[in-house]
């Protein structure tokens, strides 16, 4: 007769226990329990910090961990410059390095995707049993370079300066533009220049050396030389999509009076002199 099944099971369980004693603890329940406890600790810390932040503050009055909000949201603002969350700063800065449209796809989709695929495939193409850092120079150098690159791009993205309308107006840039372009005696065009600075147009366009060239947006320093007129610019700015521009947002919310000022400024922008 063969060995009873119960005895074989007990013998197998005994060998398993001996292997655990010799080689380490089993995944269940030890590793699972450790992960569960650590996850609960992290969640508990987050809840405690959230409660401290919420109950020690009062609206804009700061508590132990700061206020609920700095200022009330203004849905009608035209001077706000949007920025991504900190963990996207590296990608935010890549958009400044890879210019539209020639290389932006490579920088924002191509390179991150290639690096992610290499990381996911790492267990399949690196099958060596050696895991000591000192014995893996290529892997360690690659890891250090990735950390340095991400840290540098994140820092550069966090400290990148934008063309803020308030700073431009305080520096007298609209008045300088008016002098250079020759419309200083046109109050509507001057008002349009200030509105141009405030409305965030320089986040994508450039004008007499100011601003950023993003998403293929043209330099507007001599846009008025096209001879299209105030009515055309007013119509274009209020609804760019009707002219096939699906990248630029509509500024129709500025209202008829402000659109007239902005269009007059654009029509007066003829390259200086």
Is the pLDDT at 197 greater than 60? The verdict is: yes
Query: In the structure encoding, which two tokens stand for residue 184, read together?
Result: 């200083």
Alpha-carbon gap, residue 109 to 253, rounded angstroms: 33
Last residue of a domain, one of 112, 128, 159: 159
Produce one character per residue of 250-271: b if its CB has 16 or more CB atoms within 10 Å, e if not.
Answer: ebeebeeebbbbbbbbbbbbbe
Task: Tell me the DSSP string of 188-255.
Answer: HHHHHHHHHHHTTGGGT-EETTEE---TTPPB-TTGGGG---HHHHHHHHH-GGGGT--SSPP-GGG-
> Do residue 152 and residue 203 come from a single domain?
no
| 48 plus 113 within the same structural domain | no
What residues make up the domain containing 130?
86-159
Neighbours of 158 (CB within 10 A): 13
Say what the pLDDT of residue 52 is.
92
Portion of the chain with pLDDT greater than 90, in percent: 23
Domains contained in the chain, number:
3
Asked if residue 113 is part of any domain, the answer here is yes
Q: Is residue 136 part of a domain?
A: yes
Q: Do residues 169 and 129 both lie within one domain?
A: no
Question: What is the pLDDT at residue 271?
Answer: 79
Is 200:78 a contact under the CB 8 Å cutoff?
Answer: yes
pLDDT of residue 252: 87
Same domain, 153 and 232: no
Asked whether residue 5 carries a pLDDT value surpassing 70, the answer given is: no
Would 145 be classed as within a structural domain? yes
Decide if 17 is inside a domain: yes
Q: State whether residue 122 is helix, strand or coil.
A: helix
Is residue 187 situated within a structural domain?
Answer: yes
User: Taking residues 17-32, what's their average pLDDT?
Assistant: 75
Quick check: bond before 101 cis, omega within 30? yes
Residue 197 covered by a domain: yes
Q: Which of 133, 159, 185 is the last residue of a domain?
A: 159
Examine the domain organization and report whether 139 and 172 are in the same domain.
Answer: no
List the single range of 12-21, 97-106, 132-141 with lowest mean pLDDT.
97-106
The predicted model gives 123-146 an average pLDDT of 83
Bridge partners of residue 61, in order along the sequence = 58
Domain assignment present for residue 18? The answer is yes
Verify that 169 and 150 share a domain, yes or no: no
Secondary structure (3-state) at 66: strand
pLDDT given at position 38 = 94
Boundary residue ending a domain (159, 187, 202): 159
pLDDT at 118: 87
Of 11-20, 96-105, 249-258, the range with the lowest mean pLDDT is: 96-105
């Amino acid at each position: 007769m063969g060995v009873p099944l119960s005895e074989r099971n007990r013998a197998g369980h005994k060998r398993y226990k001996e292997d655990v004693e010799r080689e380490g603890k089993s995944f269940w329940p030890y590793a699972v329990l450790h992960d569960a406890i650590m996850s609960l600790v992290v969640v508990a810390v987050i809840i405690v910090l959230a409660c401290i932040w919420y109950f020690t503050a009062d609206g804009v009055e700061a508590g132990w961990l700061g206020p609920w909000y700095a200022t009330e949201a203004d849905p009608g603002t035209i001077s706000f410059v949007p920025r991504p969350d900190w963990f996207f700063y590296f990608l935010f800065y890549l958009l400044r390095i890879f210019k539209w449209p020639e290389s932006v796809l490579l920088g924002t989709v191509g390179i991150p995707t290639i690096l992610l695929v290499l990381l996911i495939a790492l267990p399949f193409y690196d099958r060596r049993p050696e895991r000591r850092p000192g014995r893996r120079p290529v892997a360690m150098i690659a890891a250090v370079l990735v950390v340095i690159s991400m840290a540098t791009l994140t820092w550069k993205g966090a400290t990148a300066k934008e063309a803020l309308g308030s700073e431009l107006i305080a520096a007298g840039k609209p008045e300088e533009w008016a002098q250079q372009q020759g419309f200083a005696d046109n109050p509507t065009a001057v008002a349009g220049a200030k509105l141009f600075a405030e409305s965030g147009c320089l986040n994508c366009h450039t004008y007499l050396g100011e601003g950023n060239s993003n998403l293929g947006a043209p330099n507007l320093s001599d846009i008025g030389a096209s001879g299209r007129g105030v009515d055309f610019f007013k119509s274009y700015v209020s609804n760019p999509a009707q002219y096939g521009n699906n990248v630029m947002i509509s500024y129709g919310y500025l209202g008829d009076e402000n659109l007239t000022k902005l269009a007059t400024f654009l029509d007066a922008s003829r390259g200086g002199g």
